[in-house]
Amino acid sequence: MIRRLRRNRFAVECFLARDPRVAESANPGLEGGTALRLKAATIHETATRICSRDFLRLSCRLVDRLLFAYLLMETFYVTTPIYYANSLPHLGHLYTMIVADTIARQKRQQGIETFFLTGTDEHGINIERAAQRNNRTPKEQADYVVSYFKKMTAAFGLDTEHGGYNIFMRTTEPFHYAGVSEFWRRVAKAKTPKGRDALYKGHYEGWFCAACAAYKTEDEYAKPANPDEPPTCLVHETKLDRVSEESYFFRLSDYDEALLNLYESRPEFVLPDVRRNEVRSFVQSGLQDLSVSRLRTSVSWGVPVPDDPTHTMYVWFDALTNYITAIGFGNEQQQRAVGFEKFWPALHLVGKDILRFHAVYWPAFLMAAEVEQPRAIVAHGMWLDPNGRKMSKTIGNTIELDVLNKHFSTDAIRYFCLRDMVFGQDGRFGYENLIDRTNSDLASGLGNLSSRTLTMIQRYCDGRIPQRNISDEGLLLAKRAGVDTDEAAVSDFVAHARDEFIRHFDKFAFSRALEEAWGIVARVDKMISDAKPWDLAKDASQRQTLNAVLYRAAESLRWLSVLLYPVMPNAARNAYAQLGLTDDPSKIHPGDLKWGELSEGVETGEIKPLFPRIDKAKTMEEIENQESGVRSQGPGAAETRPSGRVQGSGQHATEADAVPSTAGETPALPVKKEALPGQNETGEGLIEITDFSKIDLRVGEVRSAERIPKADKLLLITVDIGEEKSRQILAGIAQYYEPEKLVGRKIVVVANLKPRKLRGYESQGMLLAASVGEEGKPVIATFAEDVPNGARLK
Ligand code: MSP
């Protein structure tokens, strides 16, 4: 209460002062000030409107009390990025939603009214192109992707029905058009901190990446080998578009000092620290004005610029504004339904890939429009594949949600995402790691602790929560049995771990928080193993000792269920119910937990395993088959892709369906049933698809090639296969290929071959070539179409 009071002091003072401006001058710069000020002002206005002055004076005390109570209500607003509606979500998108959902559940659990936004970014050239490829209108394309998103969020328990997001925001909503137009008008009227117009018309000339929806400077693209071709985006490895046209510009260059002041005065504005430093250096290195519109003739799928319909808004200007239009900025509909003043400012959770848009452009737009800055921008790291490359549709190494959903419980996925990835840093995803963690931490750890405790309560205590206390006479006996008679040894440990859990959680250190919770699991496991309840049960004089041990275990499980609810809602609720408790852990503030409040004598519930063990070999095989099944259907089989547990009557959208076929999607080998040439009918000599998938074949681009002294057959080649560093490969092709002519060529590389040394050089892979004629002349395998580096052949 005191904490809340302090946080809302400003609003309360504003209200009591009856004039927000009075309070404002007395309390400059208090966090969240504007929102609370507005809140106080709105309430004051409404109260005055509905009550006559005299009545207000008479009932002043009552009104004050009610309004005071209202002001004490804390609110919280958390957002994920809104995802492009050109392609289907994968683990990366799911991850941000899981983190946001976990934060939202924790806030709600603490009694804070919380609004959680996720959604789709539906305008721009990228969506327009995806629609064209799929023979749809852009809106149909967006609807199609959104329907998959909704099924997916429902399947993973992230939708409203399951206590997840409050809004699935779409930038094609009419209320968004109204809000973003109002926002544009405000910016158009604004002066920069240096006194110039914030918006002006000019001419843009440069390169644009449709996939990033961003203009690219020279250090952000790779120059082509052939100067007639466009450069390639370093992020997506796709060709850039040349843009040369009239455009509205936002005078970002005038906002450098204001932004630096913002980062300085609010060190928690961009988190973690390492990201704040990156953003600061970016701003310090000098900001360029930003093109914020495209001619309608080149990008028609977007929000028209107010008062100039020949232009459409730059998709990031449109998309970022969703965070405020969703709660009512510039439109009546959402203002009535949600309330801008009630929830703004938000905590924006984003991947580090889009930090600049959120921590530089968005704050500058908000400054121009005179809207309060977000609460914070918190950037997480990227999920990488087991080889350390960012998951991306273009490379084809994404983790499919259908596969995840079919083989793993949502709680296991949530736990894995939060435990395995150190928040803020990149993490590598492997199904085997997910299975190992599920089996060790969940099935053998928490799950086993819960089932062994409840089974013993069932067996030795008639299925009722046993008595907590040991009488004075019993203490000696308990000591004799080696049981610590000081209950506080356990309860203090659990309470300390709870405090640490909350402390880490509030700093987004989810992995550390979970370590603390698993510290409790280990501590209680040890307590049980040391006390050996199965032996105590054989000795009638140790009845109290046995009861006390099992009570402590059950009470610890109650605490764990409450603590872990935001991370694993289903398992936490199950564990809680199995203790015989009928209230809901989602409504208990972990800070309010008191040791000993588990009521004795309560009948425990039916024991069900919280986390069934996963058969690793079997599941891995099924996953591989499912993945190769998806692949072997190829792009044409879009609508029939297995959907796992994503239920619904409509068609299932697929990546193949939504992603450009030119973006590195390699049609997969059809799995043939008949014998292949060279093999007999019984299939001898044939390999399984799983054998083939062990070979990691990648598209590479030769960066350099040179002869090796005194080795006339070998060339030393460096190849870019989409990893941070190029690979060095020795190839026996020197007699047939001129090294210079190889540079820039796309080749096929075996990327997971053990490195070996030849003539003192390490070869880190092998290139594929046909062996032609009697002398075995090598002819390098290559591609007729453009393919990105690192794309997998499968
Ligand atoms: N539409 C923009 C965002 C506009 S917000 C006003 C966009 N969309 S996106 O579809 O590309 O989504 C990017 C976000 O998806 C990342 O910032 C991150 O939240 C999530 N991820 C996508 N791939 C990811 C990983 N490989 N790993 C972790 N998160 C990833 O950018």
pLDDT digits (tens, 9 = 90+) for 180-213: 999 999 999 999 999 999 999 999 988 998 888 8
Residue 684: per-residue pLDDT = 41
Question: Residue 72 has what pLDDT?
Answer: 60
| 598, burial (CB in 10 Å: exposed 0-12, middle 13-18, buried 19+) | buried
Burial class (CB in 10 A: 0-12, 13-18, 19+), 19: middle
**Residue partners of 329: CB distance under 8 A and separation at least 6:** 179, 182, 183, 321, 335, 340, 344, 371
Ordered DSSP codes for 167-227: EEEETTSHHHHHHHHHHHHHHHH-B-TTSSBSEEEEEEEEEEETTTTEEE-GGGEEPPSST
User: Which of ligand 1's atoms lies nearest the C-alpha of 80?
Assistant: 19
* Residue 158 structure tokens: 């992230």
What is the Cα 747 distance to its own chain's centre?
Answer: 34
3-state secondary structure at position 670 = coil
Q: What per-residue confidence (pLDDT) applies to 206?
A: 87
CB of 188 within 6 A of ligand 1: the answer is no
Which residue, judged by its Cα, is nearest atom 18 of ligand 1?
351
Q: How far away, in angstroms, is 378 Cα from ligand 1 center? A: 13
Tell me, in angstroms, the distance from the centre of ligand 1 to residue 132's CA: 23
Pocket lining: 294 vs ligand 1, CB cutoff 6 Å: no
330: left (phi over 0), alpha (psi -120 to 50) or beta: left
> Over 90: is that where the pLDDT of 786 sits?
no
As a whole number, mean pLDDT of residues 525-531 equals 96
Say yes or no to pLDDT of 751 above 70. Answer: yes
Q: Is residue 62 over pLDDT 70? A: no
Whether the per-residue pLDDT at 369 is higher than 60: the answer is yes
Phi, psi of 11 (to 5 degrees): -65, -40
Instruction: Reply yes or no on whether the pLDDT at 635 is more than 80.
Output: no
Kindly report, residue by residue over 277-320, the tens digit of the pLDDT.
Answer: 999 999 999 999 999 999 999 999 999 999 999 999 999 999 99
- Residue appearing with tokens 């004075």: 472
Average pLDDT, the chain: 84
Q: For residue 226, how many other CB atoms are within 10 A of its CB? A: 8
Question: Quick check: CB of 121 below 6 Å from ligand 1?
Answer: yes
* Cis geometry, peptide bond prior to residue 533 (ω within 30 degrees of 0): no
Q: Which of 22-31, 434-443, 669-678 has the lowest mean pLDDT?
A: 669-678
Residue nearest to atom 16 of ligand 1 (CA): 351
Q: How far apart are CA 76 and CA 109, in angstroms?
A: 12
**Dist. CA 260–CA 253, nearest whole Å:** 12
Peptide bond into 569 cis (omega under 30): no
DSSP symbols for 277-336:
HHHHHHHHT----EE-EEETTT--SSPEETTEEEEEE-HHHHHHTHHHHTTTTT-HHHHH
**Ligand 1 contact, 235 CB (< 6 A):** no
The confidence score (pLDDT) of residue 102 equals: 98
Structural tokens at position 557: 């499980």
Range of lowest pLDDT (75-84, 319-328, 741-750): 741-750
Residue range 112-136: mean pLDDT, rounded: 95
C-alpha–C-alpha distance, residues 393 and 593, integer Å: 45
Nearest ligand 1 atom to alpha carbon 382: 27
Residue located nearest, by CA, to atom 21 of ligand 1: 92
414 CB near ligand 1 (under 6 Å) = no
pTM score, two decimals? 0.75
Q: Whole-angstrom Cα distance, residue 208 to residue 214?
A: 6
Looking up tokens 């070998």 gives: 714
Q: How far is the CA of 356 from the centre of ligand 1 (A)?
A: 13
Could you tell me the CA-to-CA distances from 536 to 467, 478, 486, 549 in Å, in that order?
15, 9, 18, 10
pLDDT value at 648 more than 70: no
- Which residue among 79, 80, 82, 83 is best mutated to probe the pocket of ligand 1, counting the most ligand atoms within 8 A of its Cβ? 83
Structure confidence at residue 718 (pLDDT): 86
Tens of pLDDT, residues 665-704: 222 212 222 232 333 333 444 666 666 777 888 988 888 8
In ligand 1, the atom with minimum distance to the C-alpha of 319 is: 6
Give the side-chain half-sphere CA count within 13 A for 35.
24
Averaged over 250-268, what is the pLDDT?
98
pLDDT of residue 791: 84
Going by C-alpha positions, the residue among 98, 730, 636, 137 that lies closest to residue 414 is 98
* Beta strand extents in 422-547 (DSSP E only): 427-428
Please answer whether residues 663 and 238 qualify as being in contact, where contact means their C-beta atoms are separated by less than 8 angstroms. Answer: yes
Nearest-atom number in ligand 1 for the CA of 383 is 27
Can you tell me whether residue 413 is helix, strand or coil?
Answer: helix
Give the least confident one: 85-89, 446-450, 613-617, 634-638.
634-638
For the residues 260-286, what does the mean pLDDT come to? Answer: 97
Is there an atom of ligand 1 within 6 Å of 92 CB? yes
DSSP 390: B
Ligand 1 atom nearest to CA at 89: 10
Measured in Å, residue 318 CA sits from the centre of ligand 1 at 16
Distant-in-sequence, close-in-space partners of 496: CB < 8 Å, separation ≥ 6: none
Task: Choose which residue among 94, 97, 117, 121 to substitute to test ligand 1 binding: the one with the highest number of ligand atoms within 8 A of its C-beta.
Answer: 121
3 state SS for 681-697? CCCCCCCCHHHHCCCCE
**CB of residue 399 inside a 6 A radius of ligand 1:** no
pLDDT band at 60, cuts 50/70/90? Answer: low
β strands within 671-751, DSSP E: 697-708, 711-720, 727-731, 746-750
**For the chain, first and last CA: distance in Å?**
59
**Phi/psi zone of residue 48: left (φ > 0), alpha (ψ -120 to 50 degrees), beta?**
alpha
- Ligand 1: atom nearest CA of 96 is 19
DSSP, collapsed to helix, strand or coil, labels residue 715 as strand
CB of 52 closer than 8 Å to CB of 29 = no
**How far does residue 323's CA lie from ligand 1's centre (Å)?**
15
- Cα 208 to ligand 1 centroid, rounded to whole Å: 18
Distance 319 CA to ligand 1 centre (A): 13
Q: Is the pLDDT of residue 397 over 90?
A: no
Residue 769: is its pLDDT beyond 50? Answer: yes
CA distance 97 to 350: 10
Q: Are 23 and 10 in contact (CB under 8 A)?
A: yes
Residues 6 or more apart whose CB falls under 8 angstroms from that of 75 comprise 112, 113, 114, 115, 342, 343
Active centre residues (catalytic): 90, 93, 209, 212, 233, 236, 390, 393
Tokens encoding 8: 């809302």
CA–centroid distance, residue 81 to ligand 1 (Å): 6
Mutate to test the pocket of ligand 1, among 80, 88, 96 (most ligand atoms within 8 A of CB): 96
Angstrom distances, CA of residue 725 to CA of 281, 721, 764: 24, 8, 12
- Say if CB 745 and CB 779 are below 8 A apart: no
